[in-house]
Chain A
Amino acid sequence: MTPQRIKALIESAIPHTQAIVDGDGRHFQACIISPAFGGLAALQRHRLVYAGLGGKMETEIHALSMRTYTPEEWAASRPP
């Protein structure tokens, strides 16, 4: 598994999403920005991403650390 592949899986599973992914082949970190996260708590956001990765969480990915943002939260999280 590669960060590029995880990025592609997430971005194709959830429309209009941008994922920035880094990792060593087993452990990955992702920063994910998506309008689909609007109105969802962190638990539901993570479930949405896990669903997009299908069964790969159990097999090819040992751990995926996530930070999830709506586009509005992402804009607000950075200095202007």
Chain B
Amino acid sequence: MDIMEQIKTTVHSNPIVLFMKGTPDFPQCGFSMRVAEALKSCEVAFAHVDILSQPEIRQNLPRYSNWPTFPQIFINGELIGGCDIVMELHEKGELQKMTRAAVATVTQ
């Protein structure tokens, strides 16, 4: 499958996807760690992609999402943003609402 198709499939087949450096349990970058911790605290299941072990995704995701840096979080197939935006949503309590709503839609 074409890499852009593969990215599209990934973000549309999971309600929440985090593209990060490392994994939620072993993050390899402080920004990825902060976003993973924020998502964990929302107590919802989320998919993750370790871009360090998937160089082709690392190279092409910025082109797919029109966003140059990592981490990137997608909810319902849409880019929410990077670390600053996710942390701002988290501080406002919006992140938990958004993630729970996304997961609820899928399980209904």
Contacts and interface: CB of A to CB of B under 8 A. Distances in A.
A42 B66 CA distance: 14
Tell me what chain A mostly uses at the interface: helix, strand, loop, or mixed.
helix
Contact of A57 (B69, B80, B85): B69
Interface in A7-65: 42-43, 46-47, 50, 57-58, 63-65
Interface in B58-74: 62, 66-69
A46 B66 contact: no
A43 B81 contact: yes
B84 interface: yes
B81 A50 contact: no
B-side interface mostly: mixed
A46 B87 CA distance: 14
Nearest to B83: A65
Nearest to B29: A63
B103 interface: no
A64 B82 CA distance: 10
B68 A57 contact: yes
A65 B67 contact: no
B31 interface: yes
Nearest to B70: A63
Interface of A: 42-43, 46-47, 50, 57-58, 63-67
Given A47-B67, A65-B84, 13 more contacts: A42-B85, A42-B88, A43-B80, A43-B81, A46-B67, A47-B66, A50-B67, A50-B68, A58-B62, A58-B68, A63-B31, A66-B84, A67-B84
